Structure formats: C-alpha cells, structure tokens
Amino acid sequence: MHRRYVLVIALVLLLVPLVFSIQSDALLVNGGSQKVRVVIGYRDDASKQSILKSLGVTPLKDLRDIKAMVVVIPESLIQRVKSLPGVRYVEKDAPAKAHGLSSYYGDIKWNMYMIGITDVWDYYYQYYGRRVFGYGVVVAVLDTGIDYSHPDLYGRVAYCINTIGTTTYKGTTLSRCYDGNGHGTHVAGIIAATINNRGVAGVAPNVTLIAVKVLDNSGSGTVSDIAEGITEAVKAGAKILSMSLGSSADSSILRDASYWAYQQGAIQVVAAGNSGDGDPSTNNVNYPAKYSWVIAVAAVDYYGDVPYWSSDGPEVDVAAPGVDILSTYPGGKYAYLSGTSMATPHVTGVVAVVEAIRLAAGKSWLGFSSIYKVLTYTAYDLGPSGFDVFTGYGLVDAYSAVQYALSLP
C-alpha cells in the first residue's frame, strides 16, 4: 500500500517501494536474493578459477587439499552451478546453518534475506552471540513515535524524547512518545522487531531504541522540532539516527543540527524521498538526505527494481527494500507500507549490527566516514555498472559489510 504524509513545512514521511536490475557477466546477478553458504567441489585450479569468474564471487574459504571452496550465493543458483564445467558437487554448508534462524523462524521475511542479514545471524552468532543482533548499540528513531507496548517491540524502547510544540519532554515515560500514526512504529519494527516466530523480525532485534517524537499523530511537524530531536537524541547517547522523513526545501536550522550531530560522531541514515520521476537528469533527493555527511537511502522492490517514486540524484548512497514491507503497527498489529521510509531502517539496522560486531571483536566504533566506506564498498551493484543516481552504489549487503568492517583496524 502507498501512503504519503505531508508535514506543515513540507516535511514528508518517505513512504514508497524498490528493486534491482543487475548488468554483469557474472552468473550471480540472476540468482535471486536469498543468499546461502554453499560448498563447491572443483576438479582443479583452472576449473576453480572458471567457476569463481562465472559466479563473480570471492571464496570465503578454499580447502585446496580436498579441492573444495565455500562461497555465498543466492540459493536459487545452486542447481545452475551444478552444471558449470569443472564442478564435482554443490551442497549447502551445514555448519553455516547451525544456528538456523533463517530456517526455523517464520517471522523472518523476504526483505531480511534480501539484504543478507540472515547470513550474518547464522554465521557470526557462534563467534559474537547477541552482538549479531545489534546488542549494545543505541539507535534513535526520529518519527511519529513508537508503540513501545507492541509484542514485537516490547522492551526495546528505553527512552523518550518529544519535541513537538513549545515544551520538550525527555525521560522514561514512554507514553509521551506513543505513536498515534503508525509510521514510526513501522520503521522501528524494521530495525528492531524481536525474533520470536510471530509477526516480523527486525534487522537488529537486540538494539536499544530511543523514540524521538518529532512528528505529531497526523505525520506533521516543523523543521525546528526535527532539529531539536536530532540534537537531543545525540545528547541522550544515540550514535545512530534513523530519519524516514524529509523536505524538498533546505533549512538552516535543520542543516545546522544535522551537521552538529555529524561533528559529534553520529551516523545519520536518511530517506532519499518519494519524489522520483525516473529522469536521471533531475535531482529530487530531499533534505536532510542531500547533505554529504549523512547516508541517503533509496528504495527497491522484491526484484531489485527501483520504483518510479524513489527519489534520485547524486546524493543517493545505497538502496534497500522499500516496497510492500510488512512491519509492526500500533495496537499489536502489522501492516504493509512502501516508501524510502521503509528502505531507510534496513540500512540503519545494518549499521547497528556492523558496529555491534566490531565492538564484540574488540575493535573500535566506526564513525561516519568508515561506515560510509563499508556500506558503499560492499553494496551489491544494481542497474548500470558502478554508481548510479537511482540506487547509489547498490543494494546494502549486510554479510559483506560485516566481513569488510572486521578487516578494518
């Protein structure tokens, strides 16, 4: 379903959908989105190199003594890989499925598989435990509030900031940040819904959320409310800010608040907007997504195609699922919504998981510049080869992002 909410000062909740059309010689591009670890037995080094070239991947492991390698590929490719010259056998890597979250829980939907977060959970849990679910990381959701009592979000919201109107509330009375609209709860669920075999699961279900109510129950607000929400969220300890909102016009107070947050080390993940027209020569990315110190997110659908309404421009950094996304809704309900609003929290959750796993590995927190590099360098290229104004550097890839992040000092 498609909904659009217009703010008092042209701020809009960024609701809409997404997809990816890949162009490459590699077989991998036509393999679908659900990735799994597989073991490929090969005949000799020449056939191994030929197989890797066909898949367009790098092996996670190469067991040369027994002529076998471990790779991550879309599950739908397994049968096709068996027909490649030099392949002795192809089988799923059983140890990688040992934790079985993606196999045993019905609340994990297609969008989680698409971004590769299920591979992160399945493989890295044995090493880092709850950190693979974002444990220990604080994320602020600047939106219409959160239904903190929702069964899939209960216990996740620890603090409330309400900047609407002339009085600002900061504290643990979570009812002051209740979501009477639905948008904020939907966004929060994509980030942090609990894995409990009911409803839905979020990208980082063990994060701690700060509900920052900067929009009222009609989805309206002012740039000053949002600017204050940004600064107060950072002062409350949030190092990651998720903003599924925007305005077509720039604002000095919004720019100053966003840049201040950047200077404090906050990572801001922002919806690109729902003003797309399909014309690569026009720039319709909203603010604050246009700022160079934030991560701007576009939307794609189940197939990786870009919906017409997803804003495009040179500021777009990455893309994520944003069409017909099922997530939490006030009153213990669930709803399908579309928009770059839905794409953004997928990326927010990935950032939280990357940072949490790095901390578990004894490494330092990655700031904006390093996280930006991790996300854009590991993104799964969509559309024309390389960067494009519709999907940026491509579909966010959680598994590759974690791998690369762990390789950094």
The whole-angstrom separation of Cα 178 and Cα 180 is: 6
Whole-number pLDDT of residue 30: 43
Whole-number pLDDT of residue 224: 87
Query: DSSP secondary-structure letter at 207?
Result: P
Same fold, 5-20+106-407 and 27-97: no
Residue ranges in the chain modelled with pLDDT below 50:
1-12, 16-26, 28-32, 94-104
Find where tokens 């309404």 sit.
Answer: 309
**Residue 95 CB neighbour total at 10 angstroms:** 13
Whole-number pLDDT of residue 344: 98
Find where tokens 């080869």 sit.
Answer: 385
The whole-angstrom separation of Cα 144 and Cα 184 is: 5
Whole-number pLDDT of residue 1: 33
Under DSSP, is residue 208 helix (H, G, I), strand (E, B) or coil?
Answer: strand
Question: Do 48 and 86 touch, CB atoms closer than 8 A?
Answer: yes
pLDDT digits (tens, 9 = 90+) for 47-88: 899 989 888 888 876 767 668 887 888 888 888 888 899 999
Question: Do 61 and 37 touch, CB atoms closer than 8 A?
Answer: no
Under DSSP, is residue 287 helix (H, G, I), strand (E, B) or coil?
Answer: strand
Whole-number pLDDT of residue 131: 96
The whole-angstrom separation of Cα 245 and Cα 344 is: 10
Write down the CATH number for the domain with range 27-97: 3.30.70.80
pLDDT digits (tens, 9 = 90+) for 248-277: 889 899 999 999 999 999 999 999 999 998
Whole-number pLDDT of residue 72: 87
Whole-number pLDDT of residue 142: 97
Task: List active site positions.
Answer: 143, 183, 341
Burial (CB count within 10 angstroms: exposed 0-12, middle 13-18, buried 19+), residue 352: buried
Query: DSSP secondary-structure letter at 285?
Result: P
The whole-angstrom separation of Cα 346 and Cα 190 is: 6
* Domain assignments of the chain as residue spans, ordered by start: 5-20+106-407, 27-97
Asked if CATH classification 3.40.50.200 holds for the domain at 5-20+106-407, the reply, yes or no, is yes
Question: Do 347 and 297 touch, CB atoms closer than 8 A?
Answer: yes
